[in-house]
Structure 1
Amino acid sequence: MIFAVLIVLFCALLALWNKLKPRGPSPPVYPGALPILGHAHQLYGDPIHFWVIQKKMYQFSLDNGGVSEIRFGPHSVYMVTDPDDSLVVANTCLNKPYYYEFAKEMFNRGLVTASLTTWKPHRRLLYPAFNMQVLATFVSEYNTQARNLVKALTSEVGKEPFNVRHYLVNQLLKTVCQTSLGLETKDKSIDEDYANATEDLFMLFVERLKKLYLHLPWIFAWSSLKARQDQLLKIMNDAMFRVIDRRKAELKGNVDKNKTDIRDVKFKPLLDQLLELSDTQDALSDAEIREHLDTVVAAAYDTTSIAVTYALILLGTYPEVQDRAYKEVQSVLGDEDKDFSKDDLQRLVYLEAVLKESMRMYPSVPCVARSIEADVKLKNYTLPAGASCMISIYGLNHHAIWGPDVDQFKPERWLDPSTLPDNPNVFCSFSIGKRNCLGRLYAMLVMKTMLAHVLRKFLIISDINSITTQYDILIKPADDSQIRLELRSG
């Protein structure tokens, strides 16, 4: 009881200090804040409710000049939806706020959660592994897994609407494991247990975020969530360390025979590249390698499966868009049942427009947060040091600068640069600024390959208006009934 009283007293004093200390004009505060709690009480509820509240917070910022304030207990979080201000924050505030620490036991020094001092040199090390020359060597594997996806989906033809993301997670996890870890398709080292553990951890992090008292490490340490987190982390860590140890053993003794540069055209999984850096430059420890691989694997298969799911739902909702995309695929390959090359994929410009528009409307990651360590001057306000800032990707993607059709699904807007907003910062589904997504080219190639193979085989039927969205770190469909499939004739 005494601990609870002390916590309340501390929050009250900190809130009073924040209120009384001198500052310039302040952004409008989102409605409904309570004394001491702020807006924390509004976040309680299931993931569907959580997304409803988040959208209202984004919209409030959009309606009030692009910057607003949200209060979690004594802590101020500034919601930014102005594109210019968002870029200032993204490039000025490079460290993540304290609540990213909740995910650090999972990703630790991975690029998503790493501190600035770790992020800078590690991103520089990893960057060559994601250039187009390296990614082009993975296209054969993209095709293999896309064909496996089509084969699996055939069992759903002519049936009731089903959860297509379940199939996508399975095949994308295999794709990522082959290109990142060098695992064969039949290898079960990283399997559905790993995927389930990842998703459960994401939900656990959101649960902790919503409950202010669990922000305190000594309370969280005694909670049932901490015990569950430890179980899930063990599943992930054991699986990844097994892969690393086995791969090191496989490569041992073959260094001279197989030594290649990252820039060589030979297929070379990310793990091999990291092990080479560790061996030749002593740049990364096994623990750091695991953390980067966990980040890449979890981020790649999960965000990508969501993006492809929404693209399929939207294609099924708009038959004219689907027909145009299908005809483009046919124009590139004709009736031949052959794989797509890198050049073929680059010719699928309308399909890429479909993906970009789908990701604009339904970004897998709806926001990113930054720690404000020194006062940051924006156009109309100065954000104070000690607070944190939320850059709303969803809000930017739905900014009025897109025009009166901002809420309409219109892939053709991407085909003519003159119809796009002059400010490039309003599309940031791969994040914004210096800490943007390193794997964006990888993701686009994978997604285009999968969509092209599915379109070539199936007619997709769906209705985006019947789909409910939920939020647990990522936004995703809450419904199992997502799409129906029919075989294309001919």
Structure 2
Amino acid sequence: MTVLVLAMIFSVVFAIWWYWWRPCPRSPRTYPGALPIIGHIVEAIKYRNDIWSYMEHVADDITDECVQLKMGPHIIYVVSDPSEISVIANTCLKKSFFYKFLVDLLGNGLLIADVPTWKIHRKLLNPAFNQKVLNTFVNVMNVEARILVTQLKPVAGQGPVDVKQFIIKYVLRSVCRTSLGLEADDQHMIDKEYAQAIEETIAIVIKRGLNVALHPPFIYNITAMRKREQALITKIKNILNIIIQKRKSDLKSTNNKYMTDFNDESVNGKFKPILDLMLHLSDEQQVLSDDDIRQHIDTFVFASYDTTSAMLQTTLLVLGSHLDVQERVYKEIKEILGKNEELTKYDLPKLVYLEAVIKEVLRLYSIAPWVSRQLDTDVVFPKYTLRAGSTCILVLYNLHRHPSWGPDAKQFKPERWLNPDTLPTNPNVYVPFGIGKRNCIGKQYAMMTLKTSVAHIVRNFQLFADISHLNWKYEVVLKPTKPLVSFTLRS
């Protein structure tokens, strides 16, 4: 009997192994380092605390190619060809299993929503992110950028300082005021408990994601880490629910109706917080629930907290490492603004060189070096077929260093953006905010935040840094490990 059971187990294991590892003439090549049965799992464990080093190595080994990584029976395709990445991004909209660890925090927010929900909600929320609405945020962005400058002044002349906490607090304040409509007096609701809860929750999600042993829910759910995560998420939900109800009450008490026309400029200089559109969709059109609203706000705050703050930290490091570029940015700011302290919606498009610098930073230092999708159908290319049920990693890092950028693709050259004729003709080789239909809804918002904050900082300080010795870590996005910048007040 024992022999029969063992034989059956062996047969099942062999069948699974043969199904996933059988020779297939139309499969991409397997990346070196795969062991029998377990594949690249040893590599995943070896690099669990520095996944970026391994993936950067894989990315550097492939150009316009696809390879497969094997994690036991699971296949992960790594794709670097621009055309193939575009096809996958636009036909396979389902996010991969990597994103499941964010479900408890973000629910069905746009970042990780199932495809049917994403299609409906993306269309509903698009009007809140058009340029006319974003222009109404400029005053708030100015106010928050001035606060950031004030907070940086005491460290000027004190040598290198870690700018991470300064930047994170600035981004969090700015995104909460523009998305939630918070007045400065109400900011205390976000500054402490919410900020700390978001930061700690993200740390837990990352720690779990990098530890394969904690992936199975039946193991993770009995850990102290899971209990702590649940407590933090409950706190986040409660705080946002208070803010949402307060916004509803404020609008009703002043007899203001929700902003329903998001295609016109706001009146009397009042900006249109994104929450107003969501409340309108909830109360008057009944197409969003309070949970939907909270999940979308959580997603927007989470994305800004992580992505925009990493982009701004990197931009300051680059400017501090290229003093000639920084001086040119400073001269442009002085020329455009003169003695005015505030940027206006008319000034931002005129900061052409600053925009070129930011674009080049986002190209060379990809904050989102890859995105991943779950293949729900076979994807057929001339050289190979990618099998349904597998995971696909789209290496955006390679697109930004693609040969079509020219022989200087790995060099920092903002000037390339000043002459459109020198840029690649393929639009798929520059995708700092994601590629395909599920790209970032807040990309214009992020660019406005970056331009406003950098303009205020460079106008007030000279920056000094050395990006050549910087290390990077991947935690949902790619971040500098210790962003040290020295500030000197300008006379």
- Specify the TM-score bucket, using the shorter chain as the normaliser: over 0.9
Tell me the number of residue pairs that the alignment of Structure 1 and Structure 2 aligns. 479
Amino acid at match of 1:81: S
Q: Which amino acid aligns with 1:357?
A: E
Aligned position for 2:489? 487
- 1:189 aligned counterpart, secondary structure: helix
Once residues 262 and 433 of structure 2 are traced to their aligned partners in structure 1, the CA distance between those partners, rounded to angstroms, is 24
Alignment match, 1:355: 358
Structure 1 residue 7 displacement after superposition: 12
Measure the CA separation in 1 of the matches of 2:212 and 2:353: 45
TM-score norm. by structure 1 comes to 0.93
Q: Which residue of 1 aligns with 2:4?
A: none
- Runs of 4 or more, structure 1, over 4 Å off, are 6-13, 45-48, 253-260
Alignment partner, residue 88 of structure 2:
89
Partner of 1:158: 157
The aligned amino acid for 1:92 is T
In the aligned structure 1, how far is the partner of 2:60 from the partner of 2:259? 53
Deviation, 1:226, is 1.8
Deviations 1:53-104 (A, max 9, x none): 1211222232xx4211112221111111111100000001001122322211
Rate the CA distance shift 1:418–1:313 in 2: closer, same or farther, 3 A: same
Distance 1:307 1:10, change over 3 A: farther
2:472 to 469, 473, 480: 469
Match of 1:286 among 290, 297, 302: 290
Mapping for residues 126-205 of structure 1, pairs under 5 Å: 126-186=125-185, 187-205=187-205
Deviation at 1:172?
1.2
AA aligned to 1:422 is T
- Cα distance, 1:51–1:11 mapped onto 2, change above 3 Å: farther
Deviations 1:152-178 (A, max 9, x none): 111111112111121111111111011
Unaligned runs of at least 5 residues, structure 1: 1-5
| SS of equivalent residue, structure 1 residue 326 | helix
Aligned to 2:18: 16
Alpha-carbon distance change, 349 to 41 in structure 1, aligned in 2, over 3 angstroms: same
* Separation in 2, partners of 1:105, 1:8: 37
Give 1:311's aligned residue: 315
Give the match for residue 34 of structure 2.
33
- Within 2, Cα distance between the matches of 1:293 and 1:93? 25
Deviates more, 1:221-230 or 1:368-377: 221-230
Root mean square deviation, CA, Å? 2.2
**Within 1, Cα distance between the matches of 2:99 and 2:152?**
37
- The C-alpha deviation readout for 1:368-419, integer Å capped at 9, x for no partner, is 1111011012342210101010111222212222222111111111111111
Tell me which moved more, 455-464 or 257-266. Answer: 257-266
One-letter code of the match for 2:486? Answer: R
Please state if 1:321 is matched with 2:322: no
| Paired position in structure 1 for 2:391 | 388
Q: Which range moves more in the overlay, 120-129 or 150-159?
A: 150-159
Give the alignment partner of residue 365 of structure 1, picking from 364, 368, 374: 368
Amino acid paired to 2:35: L
User: What letter is aligned with 1:53?
Assistant: Y
**Cα shift at 1:257:** 5.6
| Normalised TM-score (structure 2) | 0.92
Percent identity (aligned): 41
* Change in 2 beyond 3 A, CA 1:47/1:399: farther
Please tell me whether the aligned partners of residues 260 and 277 of structure 2 are also in contact (alpha carbons under 8 angstroms).
Answer: no
Equivalent positions of 1:407-426 (< 5 A) are 407-426=410-429
- Provide the rounded CA distance (Å) in 1 between the counterparts of 2:117 and 2:366: 27
Question: Residue 408 of structure 2 is aligned with which of 405, 408, 430?
Answer: 405
Amino acid at match of 1:291: Q
What is the 5 A alignment of 1:200-279?
Answer: 200-252=200-252, 254=254, 260-266=260-266, 267-279=271-283
8 Å Cα contact 2:259-2:272 kept in structure 1: no
* Counterpart position of 2:343: 340
Deviation at 1:297, TM superposition (A): 0.8
Check 1:225–1:73 CA distance in 2 against 1; reply closer, same or farther (3 A cut): farther
Cα drift, residue 210 of structure 1: 3.2
Please say if residues 77 and 389 of structure 1, whose CA atoms lie closer than 8 Å, have aligned partners that are also in contact.
yes
SS in 2 for 1:245: helix
* Amino acid corresponding to residue 117 of structure 2 in structure 1: T
Which aligned pairs between 1:38-53 and structure 2 lie closer than 5 A? 38-44=39-45, 49-53=50-54
Asked whether the equivalents of residues 259 and 276 of structure 2 are also in contact (C-alpha less than 8 Å), the reply is no
| C-alpha contact 1:332 1:347 (8 A) present in aligned 2 | yes
How far apart, CA to CA, are the structure 2 residues paired with 1:50 and 1:7? 34
List alignment gaps of at least 5 residues for structure 2: 1-7
Report how far residue 34 of structure 1 moved.
2.6
Letter in 1 for 2:100: E
SS at match of 1:146: helix
Instruction: Name the aligned partner's letter for residue 33 of structure 2.
Output: G
